Structure 1
């Protein structure tokens, strides 16, 4: 999964099939494999292996699938292969209310994965999906031949240093909120961090061990894709206004002055400057009780900062990560070191795409030396 927000509203658990609610142990019916069941605690362990954002998308996908099955008289679980093929074919021809267009091929790939995963979560054999995937392949080919937008990946704009400087120029760093936003923009760029990786940072994640003293700071960050903790050395910037080290230190000093010296690094701050205020919806407290920012909130910081300076483009949290890769490769940084610094998996197709884009923007483009 990527760092982008999944379209659509989540559906409540009571919209899911009963077998998937509460993850209770389900023993097989008579005649089925007597070993084909899982106790509740094992089910929980399996679900813990699915990222929260992925889990929510899968549950929503499956709820929509079961609703369609109810209208067509098909059995949602266990599903026949023909049912999945029929459903995917239906989606290629059905415009969504929000966009007026059917789902993209990549989203249909995810929906197929959702159906299979939710079968496994229910202790049921997932359906064979070769037919459904052929439907997606044909749909992708038709869109590509028509040069339709759905066939192209929806990319965020890269927040390269020149863009960051403009965005930071309107951030009021005399306030705690402004200091937080500057730290998010600069640290997110310097670590090539995904939004979820920024939300997981704690005050204790930022240190200054002896080996980096005078060079910068060390940030211990959890890379979600490779499922590993990574120590990232963040060096001083060339200018005070764009230095990630100074931005983070300023923010940490202000947090300490508010009595916040441990726990979440990036916190909610209300319009009056109060730190981690509780949020209520319908009289019920929602959100992280410790005030930790959500991934959407991180993206809002990026998007609103760009909007404030009239920057055109598609700006989300991933703009920081993409901007780092673009800027580093354009500056002739070693691709291997760049990839490892940003926590990309070896052989990452996403990172290779950034390499190819950078190659087309500098003297490595074969047209550069042709002399037209």
Structure 2
């Protein structure tokens, strides 16, 4: 890693600081003036340690999003012959318009929602590299993006996949009946039925260990790591269902029993992944990742002939919409799925139900 050395007034060498962090360099120089070089060196070491800890604790999916955003920013700068570490107002505005026009690697434009995510990630990465990005400049870029997105709609252009299809109870029956009588089939049943009942995102089952799922007389307690930025653990209670065919508790116990019988003992240990990948010959290949969960959920729905193929978010939306239809309290739904109690995303899921059941046109004739 390249370093830059600041010379304090007394002529002694200040501690080395990463060259890509000019703000940190200035801070260390101030520390040296106030406390001397040796103290400044220790404080600089502590800052670098804190940076390393933050990097290790950053969720993998968040880190991947930021890394992708930075790669897109680099492509934009190369195309425009802009320096990567100059995030001027004009550059940011040009960036969002480029994203919508031709930002993808295939030459097409991103959907506005994707462009918004990329802009946010690029700003994070720019600031991490010591580039000053003012709030006003970022706000103007975002306002430009929103205005351009409205113009796309006015022009009749629709981008993005739209909201994912919701898993519904009839779909659950289709799924379990289409699962083969194999270890992979047992895994698929457990993955879908438990995931539906605690409103799983794709990363949730991928992050579970066997010890995170506790069997109790009334059902399962699933300890789910939740939160996009600030992480906590929620204990989702999954009750036994009256119909054993789609009971998540029975599906989980059957899967774990079959895994213990057909795979090496280490895959049944409490610190082993709760959901494992399985190859075509029935061999366990390791723990599932968020991407493999998403692919599995889609594959399972297609195999079952679900009318609208699922995505990695379908189980989560399905719990919210189904519980709403059954009259469950919004607070109880939020707590089960780990939403904030006034979550806008959860309320959008509710609108799928309320928009039909509480509709001004219903029953007029």
Q: With structure 1 as the length reference, what TM-score do the two structures score?
A: 0.81
1:182 pairs with 153, 178, 189, which one? 189
Query: In the alignment, which residue of structure 2 is the partner of 1:224?
Result: 227
Question: How far did residue 103 of structure 1 move?
Answer: 0.9
Alignment check: 8 A CA contact 2:87 2:131 kept: no
- In structure 1, the residue matched to 2:257 is 253
- State whether residues 302 and 309 of structure 2, in contact with CA within 8 Å, keep that contact through their aligned partners in structure 1: no
TM-score, with length taken from structure 2: 0.82
SS state at 2:296 partner: helix
Report the CA distance between 1:49 and its aligned residue.
5.0
- Structure 2: distance between partners of 1:88 and 1:222: 33
Gaps in structure 2 of 5+ consecutive residues: 4-15, 30-43
Q: Which has the higher helix share?
A: 2
Cα deviation 1:137-173 (Å, max 9, x = unaligned): 21121123234322x772111111111211221101x
SS at match of 1:219: strand
Q: 1:80 aligns with which of 80, 88, 95?
A: 88
1:202-238 deviation line (CA, Å, top 9, x unaligned): 11112134xxx1x212111111336211111111112
Show the counterpart of 1:5: none
Cα drift, residue 317 of structure 1: 1.9
2:362 equivalent in structure 1: 368
RCO (CA 8 Å, sep 6+): is it higher in 1 or 2? 1
Pairing partner for 1:46 from 43, 47, 54: 54
Return the offset for 1:25. 5.1
Counterpart Cα distance in 1 of 2:85 and 2:25: 15
Q: Which residue of 1 aligns with 2:127?
A: 120
Residue among 328, 338, 346 paired with 2:341: 346
Taking the aligned partners of 1:244 and 1:310, their CA distance within structure 2 comes to 21
Report the count of equivalent residues: 329
Q: Highest CA radius of gyration, 1 or 2?
A: 2
Query: Quick one: which of 260, 274, 277 aligns to 1:268?
Result: 277
Q: Which whole-Å CA distance do the structure 2 matches of 1:175 and 1:30 have between them?
A: 58
1:157-196 matches, within 5 Å, as 157-172=165-180, 174-196=181-203
User: Gaps (5+ residues) in structure 1?
Assistant: 1-16, 277-290
Alignment partner, residue 303 of structure 1: 298
1:245-285 CA deviation, whole Å, 9 max, x = no partner?
00001111122223223221101111111123xxxxxxxxx
RMSD between aligned alpha carbons? 2.6
Is the contact between residue 220 and residue 229 of structure 1 (CA under 8 Å) also seen in structure 2? yes
